[in-house]
Structure 1
Amino acid sequence: MASTAADQRVRQVQRRTVVLLGTAQVFGGIGTGATVSIGSILAVELSGSSAWAGAVATVMTLGAAAAALPLASLADHRGRRAGQVAGLSAALAGALLMVLAVVSGLFILLVLGAAGIGVGTAATLQARFAAVDLAAPEHRGRALSTVVWAVTVGAVTGPNLIQPGTVVGTALGLPPVAGPFVIAAAGLLIASGLMFAGLRPDPLLLARQLAAAGANTAQDHDPARPDGVAAGRAGGSLIRGLHAIRDSRTAVLAVTAVVAAHAVMVGVMSMTPLHLQHLVEGPAFHPGHVAEGDVLVIIGFTISLHIAGMFALSPVMGWLTDRAGRIETIVIGFAVLVAAVVVAGLGQSSTRAVAAGLVLLGVGWSAATISGSTLLAESVGRDARVAVQGVSDMLMGAAGAAGGAVSGLVLGAAGYLGLNLIGAAIGAAVLAAAILARASRRRSAAA
């Protein structure tokens, strides 16, 4: 009877946690969406050079990478709530700095604001792991994907705040382009407030309490790795996380999949607004000049479709991860990702083809990230789990930053087609590795 009561309490807390995390993601995702959609254009305008086009995406991903381990360490010591509130508060400050950058015309404020938004991105990424702290093994993929899916509303809304945001900016006496960041700041304020007031009890701390008490709950039994990788607290989160990943082949594959998918996605996505701007305003597309507002609408719509591809089908990817298998879904994700960059690259002269490629890119990223994250969460032991998650997010952010930084140079040297072909090569390499891992696992199971 006591065990049944404990199980029921865990299920109730788990349901409440997923709903709360999802709601916060809706509001928090607005800031990221708005920054991604017009960040590269603002960087060029404020810096006066197209060489800085990838600066915002690069700094955002660097900020996320730099914040991943500190936020994970904070969560490890004080719970998920502390990490979420800290990250979202930094993003709120970043959105306000974006407003100041537009008002003052100072490029450095734009860069600092992007860094703050990046810290919020790190918190958003770690929220998906908070969704599985108390989840039963057979429901981990769906729990994680539900929180990822919730980002859809905010992240898709963000790019489309360009026009209504101009109304807000004008009404407040600000430059019109500052308006979307005012709305983003309001959303981030709500998200951080929800985390501060609502994430009680903390799912990570409760899971540890139950494990320490020997509670016979579903989340304590891990069929993928029942004993996990033991790791002490000595050496810091980075060393513990790297050692735990090194000792688990499935963790290596999981991290590789998540990191590679993110690098390709950020690299292509961050340069797409600039490519579309040149395409729409150039003579190859239209004999006359297209109004700036129309160009921004096209860019915003395309990025919205891409972000919808990233998040809208997340529940399907979670279900597929639980039903078909973690590695099998990684294979599917990278197959779609390779197809996506081929479509976008070969169709570079068509806004429709680019949009279609960006949607597929989002879908491939979703499948790879959800399945890879789920596989990672069960590939190491409980003591090392949060540290491993922090290392994974740090590497994910670093790879995204590298992709954003290099993509501008590649775009200038090899064009949009060359950028996408490089992405296809990276995706194909990981796809081959995942297929080999799947074959190896099947041989081991048959032996």
Structure 2
Amino acid sequence: MAHAPADIAAIQRRTLVVLIVTQVIGAVGVGVAPSIGILLAGEVTDSEAWAGLARTASTLGAALFGLPLGALAARRGRRLALSIGWWVGALGAAVLVLAAQLDAVVPLFVGLLLIGAGSAVALQSRFAATDLAEPRHKARALGLVVWVGTLGSVLGPNLGAPGELVGAATGLTVFASAFLIAAICLALAGTLVFLLLRPDPMLVSDELMAAAREMADDAAVRPAASASDAEPAADLAPGAPGVVDRPLPPRRKGAIRRLVAEVRTNPGARAAVVAILVGQVIMVAIMTMTPVHIVHHGGSINLVGITISLHVVGMFALAPVVGMMTDRYGHGPTMAIGVVVLLASLVIGAVRPDDMGWIVVSLVLLGLGWSFVNVTGSALFSVAVSSETRAASQGGVDALANLFGASAAFAAGPLLAATSFATLSLLTIAVLAPLVVIVVRLVRVPVVVR
């Protein structure tokens, strides 16, 4: 089916509206895991070791679901992949209702793993925003979807208050009530995507690319055919001299193997992956341990909540601005700003670890630096990777980012216990080194967006 440019613009606008609405609703449900989920883990397990493992379960779940959801999008389109991801997250939240009500350890871990699918979908939604965006507006569209997640990320940790009202009406505990609200939000997000994300932006994008290849092939075949009009049609078989074979549509099977090969040979894709992974490791390692550090230095729970809320604002509030800067000034210069901001955050943590005011500033800068690096790296990846591996590779990158983030969170605890917050900050400065090299190369040899 042919699509006029005006039709494509209308489909893109509709896609962004659906993604924005569902991102806000779904993020409310996902936002419960790193806040109320952590408190629930401590209450149910009654063991710091088991609670620490439970805290990484949702991140591990996001890593586990990122790859199959990306592969599903590659085969069947964004609509089915995103809706199933939100619904799996809703199932996880429902299981956590049971875990909270019964103080059950096994449902706790199962529920946290499943709710991680919601995190994976929230990440993949930003890539869905770029499927039909104009090349010069891809980063802006991606940043917009990242930005609207701020509302859900701020509301999710505060579901305890409405949870008390639900608990009074249903007899559920506060934690169980909060996860019941989360389950409803996640299920609603999946239903809205399934009903409204039509036509599917990825399938339309595939149709456009197939049409472009067909036109290019026709242009290549036409001169050869006109020069041999007198020859029998039987001689014009595929592979015959003077005839250009028309390639088959790109196959989705083996996309992960092609992704590995592409990252190995594609400098733009490789730079994007390094940026996303390094930013995630640094952000998660410091963000996870900052509440522990604040409490150990006599800080209140309210201070912890304010600090994390300001950190989340730093992560998402300027995402559309970062996207517009990326579109206008390029990936290298914009990512360089992120590196400088991350470095400033880590230096503050290393030099002023005992000053809680500076720690708050450090965490705000940490979120802002992550925003610059992640939005720019994600936008770079969306334009650098080939269309044949696009959806599966996007899921793979998100899976790797969550896996690296979970590993960083798991390792940061023992490091903080064995050393200090200042030492942890210094160690993460060393992690910045590969990103500095990437930024220098991007500034010298920019990736051209066509």
TM score, norm. by length of structure 2:
0.86
- Aligned residue for 2:198, secondary structure, equals coil
The answer to whether structure 1 residue 327 and structure 2 residue 343 are counterparts is no
Alpha-carbon spacing, 1:361–1:166, altered in 2? closer, same or farther (3 Å): farther
Answer with 314-323 or 99-108: which moved more. Answer: 99-108
Equivalent residues in 2 for 1:410-425 (5 A)? 410-425=415-430
Deviation of 1:44 (Å) = 2.8
Alignment counterpart, residue 395 of structure 2, candidates 390, 400, 425: 390
Answer with 40-49 or 194-203: which moved more. Answer: 40-49
The answer to whether structure 1 residue 356 and structure 2 residue 374 are counterparts is no
Equivalent residues in 2 for 1:33-432 (5 A)? 33-214=31-212, 233=251, 236-280=254-298, 295=301, 297-427=302-432, 429-432=433-436
Structure 2 equivalent of residue 10 of structure 1: 8
CA distance in 2, matches of 1:216, 1:332: 42
Deviation of 1:380 (Å) = 2.2
CA distance in 1, matches of 2:182, 2:307: 19
Q: Do the aligned partners of 1:244 and 1:388 also contact (CA within 8 Å) in 2? A: no
Q: Do the aligned partners of 1:333 and 1:366 also contact (CA within 8 Å) in 2? A: yes
Structure 1 equivalent of residue 223 of structure 2: none
Alignment counterpart, residue 437 of structure 2, candidates 403, 416, 433: 433
Alpha-carbon spacing, 1:141–1:98, altered in 2? closer, same or farther (3 Å): same
Deviation of 1:162 (Å) = 3.0
After superposing on structure 2, the runs of 4+ consecutive aligned residues of structure 1 that deviate more than 6 Å are none
Q: Do the aligned partners of 2:331 and 2:442 also contact (CA within 8 Å) in 1? A: no
Q: Cα deviations across residues 377-403 of structure 1 (Å, max 9, x unaligned)? A: 111221122222122112111111111
CA distance in 1, matches of 2:397, 2:381: 9
Using the aligned pairs only, state the percent identity: 40
Deviation of 1:231 (Å) = 11
CA distance in 2, matches of 1:42, 1:416: 26
RMSD: 2.6
Answer with 64-73 or 198-207: which moved more. Answer: 64-73
CA distance in 2, matches of 1:190, 1:172: 21
Q: Do the aligned partners of 2:210 and 2:249 also contact (CA within 8 Å) in 1? A: no
Deviation of 1:252 (Å) = 0.6
CA distance in 2, matches of 1:263, 1:379: 22
The answer to whether structure 1 residue 30 and structure 2 residue 34 are counterparts is no
Q: Matched residue pairs, number? A: 416
Q: Do the aligned partners of 2:128 and 2:202 also contact (CA within 8 Å) in 1? A: yes
Deviation of 1:322 (Å) = 0.5
TM score, norm. by length of structure 1:
0.86
Q: Cα deviations across residues 29-64 of structure 1 (Å, max 9, x unaligned)? A: 112322112333332332222223432342222111
Q: Do the aligned partners of 1:24 and 1:194 also contact (CA within 8 Å) in 2? A: yes
Structure 2: runs of 5+ lacking an equivalent: 216-247
Structure 1: runs of 5+ lacking an equivalent: 218-229
Bigger Rg, structure 1 or 2: 2
Alpha-carbon spacing, 1:245–1:207, altered in 2? closer, same or farther (3 Å): same
CA distance in 2, matches of 1:175, 1:319: 45
Answer with 413-422 or 135-144: which moved more. Answer: 413-422
